[in-house]
Every structure is written in C-alpha cells, then in structure tokens.
Amino acid sequence: MTDGGRDAFGGEEALFEKSPEEDAAEFASTKNSEMLIGEFRSHGVNIVTEEDRVVNWRGRRRRRRRAGIAYGTNKSQHYMEEGRGKRKTSRICRVERVTHKRMGVGSDRMRGMRKRRSRFAVLVLALLILAWVAGSALGTGRATEKGIRLKDVPVPMRDGVVLRADVWLPKEEGRFPTLIYRTPYGKGDAQKDWSTFAKAVKHGYAVMIQDVRGRYASDGEFTPYQNEGKDGYDTIEWAAQQTWSDGSVGTFGLSYPGAVQWLAAVESPPHLKAMVPAMTFSTPRNFFYSGGLFDGSWLEWIWLNIAPDTRKRKNLAGPKTDEEAEASWKKEHEQMEGFLPLAGLPDLKEVAPYYYQWLAHPPADAWWNWAELRNKYDRVHCAVLNFSGWYDEAYGPDGATTNFSGLLAARKGDKDPRTYTVIGPWTHGGQDTSKSGERDFGPTAAIDYDELILRWMDHFVRGVDNGLDREKPVRIFVMGKNQWRDEEAWPLQRAREKWLYLGPNEGTKGRGRLEEQPEKSLAAASTFISDPAHPVTDIYEKYGAHDYRALAGRDDVLVFDSEPMAKDLEVTGPVQGVMYVSANVPDFDLWVRLLDVAPDGMAFNLMSPGLDVLRASYREETVEPELLEPGRIYRLELNRMLTSNVFLKGHRIRVQVSGAFYPHFSRNLQTGESEIVSAESRAGRITIYHDGSHSSRIVLPVIGR
C-alpha cells in the first residue's frame, strides 16, 4: 500500500506482503473493510495488488502492462509453468510506503522519519491489510480528472453467483444518487458506445455498468431474461447500500438493457426510484412470438451478439469474435433461417440451449408467465418513462404504449401516476438520427437521449423541480407533418374511427379499392396464393421506412388502395384490421400491412413487421392451435398495429395482404403441423371476403385538424 505521493528520491519501503491464498478472514470483517476503504479513500492511500490494481487512486495513474510484464513499483512475480508454456501469476500484495515530496532532506532527518514510519506501520498494519482485503472485493480502478472509476466490482447475488460491474464516481467526496445499466453485450463496449455514463457522472450521479449473469466478466450461466428479475433486484439493493450511494437508485437502457429494468421492477426493489426502459416489450406473446409466429430474428441475435462470448467462455467450436460471427452469418444465414424443422437446427445446440426451450413453449403457454408484464403493473412502484419508435422492432411501440396504459390503470387515483411515454419516428436504437430507412423526418426528429434520461432522473431520483411533472405525459412524433406533439393520453381521446372497406377493382390483377362504403355485392372476394416453399420475402435487410411498391401485382400479394386524399388526413393511434377469410388449408398466416403511397407511386410502410400479422390457428390465443375447416369463413382481427402518420393531400392509403413476410417470422407450413417440429409444407389458396355480409375493413383512428 502506498500513500499516493512520491518524493524526488523515489524512496519506497515494503511494509508487508500478503498472498490472498492465505486466510485473509482473520484480518477483517466485510463491514470493517468497507468502512476502512472509505477512510483510506479520503486520505490518499493506494491499494495495489499483484496486477497493479488500484482501488484508491488519489493522484495516481493506472499502470500499464505489456506482454505480461508488470511495470512500476509493484513487483508481481510471473513464471512459466514448466512443460506447459502457461503463464501464471503469483498473487502477492505489496504494502508500500512512499516518502513525502521534499527536496534536500538530510540523512539524520531521513533516519528519524524512518523510525516514526516504523512505529506508525506497527500501529496501522492491520488496518492496511483490512483495506487491501476490501480492495480485492471492490475490484480495480483509476482516477481521472472527470472522476473515479472502479473496474470489475463484484456484486453477489442471492444464490452466491457473483456479477461484476464497473462503477463511475464523481471526483467529489460523498454519497451520490445512483444509476444502473445492466447489459449482456459487454460493459466495456457499452462504455465506448454510450455517452450517458460520463454525462451522468458529471451531473453528480454514481453510475454502475454491469455485465448480466453469464456474460463477459460476470459469473454464472446465461439464460436470456430469466434471471434478470432477481439479479436486477439484488443489484439495485446492493448498490443502494454502498458507501458511495445515497440510497436513491434509477435504471436506464435500451433493448435488452431496457427489458432487464422491467423484469427487476416487477420484483419491487425498495430503493428503485425511477427507470427509463427504452425500446422493449410488454409481453412474451409479442416478443418471442408475434401474432402466434415465432420471431426469426432471435437466431441472428444469438449468433451475432451472444454466441461469440459463450463459445470463448465454454471453449466451444465456432466463431469467437464479432468479426468472425459476422463473416460466418453472411455465408450461412440463409441456410440457418430456412432450416426446417426449427427445433432440428444443429447450430445452436451447445451455444444456446435456451433457444430450443423457447421453441418448445407456444406463446400462450403458462411457462412464459415469468416474462409477462401485463398482469404485474401493481408491483411497480417507481417512476417510469417509456420510450420507443414507430419503426422500432414490433414489440417496442407495443411495449411502450401497453406498459404506459397498464401503469396508469394500476395507479388510477394517484395525484401523479409518474409514468410518461415518448415515441419518435425511429428504428431500434436510431433516436439520434432524422432518417428511418429511406424516409427523412427532418431536423427535429433526433433527440438528446442522454438529456432525456438525466432530466427524468433529476426529477424522480434527486427530487429536482425541473417542471417535468407539469408537462403532458405523452409525447409523439407525427410523421408526414414531421412534428412533435404533446398529448394528455394514449390513445388520443379525440380520435374518431374511420372505416375503409376492402373492395374489388375489376380488371386489375391483385389490386382492389379501399372505400368508405361497404360492397353491396353478395359474391365479392379476392384470392391469393400462399406457398411456404416460396414465401413473400422482405426485399430489405434493415428495419425502417422502405418503398414496397414492387410487391403489388404478385400472385401471392393483394393490395387495396384508397382514392387520393383530398386533404391531409392524420391517423394516430391503434389501427385495427378486420378480415373475413377462408382457405383450402387447415392453417395460414395473415399479414395486413398499412402503407402510405405518394403520388409518384412510392409506397412506404408505417411500422416494422410483427404488429401486422396473425396466425389463423392462434386467433383466440389458445395454447393448442385451433385449425380451420376448409371453405369455412372466419373473422380474423388484427388489433396490435400502431402509428402516427399524416397522409398528405394527393397520397393514398394502401392495405397490403399476404400469407408471409419472410424471414422476419417463422413460416406457417399450412399443413396443420408446426414448423417447429415439421418440415413438410403445402401451398394454399386464401380468400378475403368483402361482400355485403362479410365487410373486411381497416379501422383508422383519425384526428381532426
């Protein structure tokens, strides 16, 4: 241990050496160790391990290592294991003393100083050892001009598994409101990718960035989402008890780091004051599945984001770096995505056994209750800012609006329900840009995500009166007009339903009309072919607004267009599709997509795929599929579509109908057997009815202007 100073002579004297392999428990209790760390932190003492780890870094620069050689005064001993070439490190803690910064000190004065130091060393030796023991428990760290950073701080979970986090602290002394970010993507990469952490520290927060269980620096087995409730609770409560925390905790993060917040919040951690879960889900039925279809993007997510680190941890064959995974995905993704049956795919058997567990449980199975949020809002006691984009992955806007409405219902009667929602025109994680796909929404579309988070935390974690509680709780971006607007509620109370009926258009193959009056004919219908072996395929790889005019006129796609708008028409809120259908196969998937068609023919989608599909056998959301009787007419309701868009004067509203939109979701084999366990498929003829008795329609929430 050193006092953080160094004189012109660079004199040092080792007072004590202790190997962690020896029993350190005889020197300290956890409680005393934490107390001593706080004391040493305020007195400039550095705690150094064999790896040059500094827990208390006042005025000290973190040392560097190259090629396994330790630089600096910490003389870590390295040796090569004979016959194996494997490097090991002898774990030694050197307790070092550095003379004060003085010039021209005489020899007698130096001897006197050494005697006093020896007596002082005898008196405080045990205290120094206690601090070192605590230092081993607190991880490594370094000081910067912007604050203090602890690395790989161990956080024990209730089952004994240790997760690790980096902790960033302001340079000032004291206890701080604490923000927590938990990720499966590597806390080191997160610190490079996001500016939020540094800004929060500058704002006066302690920030904790943690690898979730089984990922990167954390111990345990990674099973996506299933441990995040209890682990999140334990992490929040652990952080609140630390000497650097004032006990008020907030959480933030986007996508998986957004989901972990909800899963922890429903466990009711007492010290959680606020959270900003961005672009995440409300129910596994619209997350792992959607409309009864298994979400095909999980395959890519695992391969690119999860599998490389897992292979390294378990020494499994296959790509172990991001670059290798990306290269192999480009070569193999078509084979992997098209593999049938889904449960027979060999590629993830070792690296992701949970993938096959997901496949084994249909969306309405009670097994998924651990991930269901919609029946647990009364367990959430913190302030919640919901956040998503219209072109986010389908679960995002559905999650933001469903969770917002659910919290309002659970907190009915509260003077301040403490829940808001913000939805922009963005794709997943694209909130700092003005474009989504090929559509540019202007300079106001991008937001300062960091500022959004910190303003929320300032008010609900720190208690700052920044006017947030006097603002309207809903903020949405209205596409087409490209304007932000604040609202009192969601859905908008002033919205009025507008029904547009599907109708035929004689002489035009695959094209029909959208009309304000239903068809009076008793025999009106449109048909299309759905062939799982040759599914309708998305021609774009990335989410966002794209031009889908090329899909019109195909045998496997129907389109229904309105007349050009005589004036601007705003559609904001939940959109419903009511379709009367029959088929000559026992099951099929029905896609009903809403598009904005410009005068030049460009046809932009208004949401990402997933909200606009329903499996016919899942129409009642039952665990077991309810197959169709050939030729019988069924009413199918698609009620999860969402948007806010102004169809400008001269534009048309288009409804696009098909039996697939591959590869986003799994293909219905149309045999009555599941694609999860079967590979045989059957082409089918699907009929959409729009006669006087079966008025298929789209129901739009129209806002008067």
Model confidence over 109-128: pLDDT tens digits? 333 333 344 444 434 434 43
Of residues 551 and 51, which shows the higher confidence score?
551
pLDDT value for 705: 72
- The arithmetic mean of pLDDT across residues 521-549, rounded, is 93
Spell out the alpha helix ranges (H) of 349-389.
353-360
Residue boundaries of the structural domains of the chain: 1-64+71-142, 293-361, 381-487, 496-703
* Tokens 């972990």 found at: 260
With contact defined as beta carbons under 8 Å apart, do 605 and 439 qualify? Answer: no
Whether residue 15 is predicted with pLDDT greater than 70 in this model: the reply is: no
pLDDT value for 135: 45
Contacts of 636 (CB under 8 A, 6+ apart): 577, 578, 579, 580, 581, 590, 614, 616, 619
CA distance 317 to 179: 37
Burial class (CB in 10 A: 0-12, 13-18, 19+), 238: buried
Q: Which residues pair with 653 in a beta bridge?
A: 596
CA distance 498 to 122: 85
Whether residue 308 is predicted with pLDDT greater than 80 in this model: the reply is: yes
pLDDT value for 506: 66
CA distance 155 to 212: 11
Choose among 247, 264, 242, 249: nearest CA to 179.
249
pLDDT value for 589: 98
CATH superfamily of 381-487: Alpha/Beta hydrolase fold, catalytic domain (3.40.50.1820)
- Active-site residue, 428 included: yes
Whether residue 52 is predicted with pLDDT greater than 60 in this model: the reply is: no
**Residue among 152, 234, 392, 547 flagged as catalytic:** 392
Topology of domain 496-703, per CATH? Jelly Rolls (2.60.120)
Model confidence over 143-171: pLDDT tens digits? 677 789 999 999 999 999 999 999 999 99
Cβ-based neighbour number of residue 100 at 10 Å: 11
CA distance 134 to 30: 7
Whether residue 468 is predicted with pLDDT greater than 80 in this model: the reply is: yes
Q: Confidence band (pLDDT; 50, 70, 90) for 138?
A: low
Choose among 122, 40, 129: nearest CA to 114.
122
Model confidence over 583-610: pLDDT tens digits? 999 999 999 999 999 999 999 999 999 9
Whether residue 130 is predicted with pLDDT greater than 60 in this model: the reply is: no
CA distances from 299 to 214, 546, 657, 668 (A): 19, 23, 26, 17
pLDDT value for 692: 86
pLDDT value for 702: 98
**Residue among 33, 245, 248, 255 flagged as catalytic:** 255
**Residue among 271, 309, 328, 428 flagged as catalytic:** 428
pLDDT value for 395: 98
- The arithmetic mean of pLDDT across residues 279-294, rounded, is 98
CA distance 313 to 198: 30
- The arithmetic mean of pLDDT across residues 644-663, rounded, is 98
CA distance 693 to 691: 5
Q: Confidence band (pLDDT; 50, 70, 90) for 140?
A: low
- Active-site residue, 596 included: no
pLDDT value for 364: 97
Category of 544 on φ-ψ map: left (φ > 0), alpha (ψ -120 to 50) or beta: left
- Active-site residue, 448 included: no
Q: Strand, coil or helix: what is 116?
A: helix
Helix (H) or strand (E) holding 580: strand 569-583
Choose among 177, 170, 162: nearest CA to 242.
177
